[in-house]
Amino acid sequence: MFQCITDLPPLQFKTLGGTTTSPKAIKMSKIIFPEFINHISIDSQVAYSFDKNYQYNIIVGADFLDKFGFTINYNDNLLQWMDHISQESC
């Protein structure tokens, strides 16, 4: 579920691909990660949208991963959430 947030100013992000500005924000609710577990969801999180075409549906930052208990193992290219491990590229 998504809810538009209208009272946030545009936010500028620096990424490996350069600097970009997000003109809009949304509040996502009941977020699931099927790569790990389908029956557990994250209640809500604010996300910023971009007008550019990217190859990803969603990009999460280290702050999000840390807040919700994700662990990245770069040596073995693994991402862990709770007791579940995804071997998708990190």
Q: List, for residues 15-67, the tens digit of each pLDDT value.
A: 777 888 888 888 999 988 888 887 888 999 988 887 777 777 777 888 888 99
pLDDT on residue 88: 64
**pLDDT computed for residue 57 by the predictor:** 74
Give the single-character DSSP code of 19: E
How many angstroms separate the CA atoms of 90 and 69, rounded?
15
Q: Where are the domains of the chain?
A: 2-52+59-86
* Pairwise CA distance, residues 69 & 71, whole Å: 6
Continuous segment of H or E residues that includes residue 16: none
Half-sphere exposure of 42 (CA within 13 A, CB side): 18
Secondary structure, 3-state, 23-55? CEEEEEEEEEECCCEEEEEEEEEEEEECCCCCC
pLDDT of residue 89: 53
